[in-house]
Amino acid sequence: MSDIRYHAMADGRHIAFRLAEGRGPNRNGPCLVFLPGYMSDMAGSKATALFEDARAEGRPALLLDYSGCGESSGDFAEGTLSRWREEVLALVDAYVNAPIVLVGSSMGGWLMLLVGEALGSRLVGMVGIAAAPDFTRWGYTDDQRARLAAGEIVYEDNPYGPEPTPTHPGFFADAEGHMRLSGDIAITCPVRLLHGQRDADVPWDTSLRLAEALRSDDIQVTLVKHGDHRLSRDSDIALLKRTLSSLL
């Protein structure tokens, strides 16, 4: 990815990103902004596939690595939803002059709600891929939550790599202020939610709960019977592309 650029935040963080400029008849169309999951980055197969399609079609698109992830500077232990929302909004304000369609994967599906609320009328669509809002509430045992609240790091088995996955107390404390499933989410744009029914990390009924909480009247939930959490098989990515295309 030789086209990686860096945006300097006011406190010295350098946020890595890739930007596809719109051109031709699609140059003023909505800009795709992809939000990766927890400990993920913009090099993933779903983000890359959508970005390359957008570039081929002349549609604007933006990928990024949150601070402490991928090519961005910073310490992952300092990462929070609030901090990463700030980074996404900074890049959108600096480089995007178009309506926004957010695509959020797993934790990115939680973050897209926070970003979407801040974008207001600039937000014209959202696609969630195994969206995981409020996961620090339903995804941990009472003991784990108590340890996090006491300032302890909680480690869990990582099915995608050799090192355990950490949850830091700072992330947990910040997340407590961003719970969304228990109330009304004031987002009214079209929303598409994709979820695998063999997702071992995020229960698929989370997408149904999210659809209920969102204020939008234009919501479709697609359940993939044999889909896992990542939804990164060729057929899954083809479904994602079709879903996004219908919004664009």
- Of 246, 243, 217, the closest CA to residue 104 belongs to 243
Q: What is the pLDDT of residue 1?
A: 63
143 confidence band (pLDDT: 50, 70, 90) = very high
Map out the domains of the chain as residue ranges.
5-247
Instruction: For residue 196, give the 3-state DSSP assignment.
Output: strand
**Active site (annotated) includes residue 134:** no
- What pLDDT is attached to residue 107? 98
Active-site hit among 105, 199, 207, 236: 199
Asked if pLDDT for residue 181 goes beyond 80, the answer is: yes
Please, which pLDDT band fits residue 158 given cuts at 50, 70 and 90? confident
Between 162 and 68, residue with greater pLDDT: 68
Tell me the per-residue pLDDT of 192-248, one tens digit each, with 9 for 90 and over. Answer: 999 999 999 999 999 999 999 999 999 999 999 999 999 999 999 999 999 999 998
Q: What is the pTM of this model?
A: 0.97
Let me know if 229 is a catalytic residue: yes
Q: Which listed residue (72, 105, 106, 207) is catalytic?
A: 106
Backbone angles phi, psi at 24, to 5 degrees: 65, -150
CB atoms within 10 A of CB 245: 11
Superfamily of domain 5-247: Alpha/Beta hydrolase fold, catalytic domain (3.40.50.1820)
Q: Give yes or no: 226 in active site.
A: no
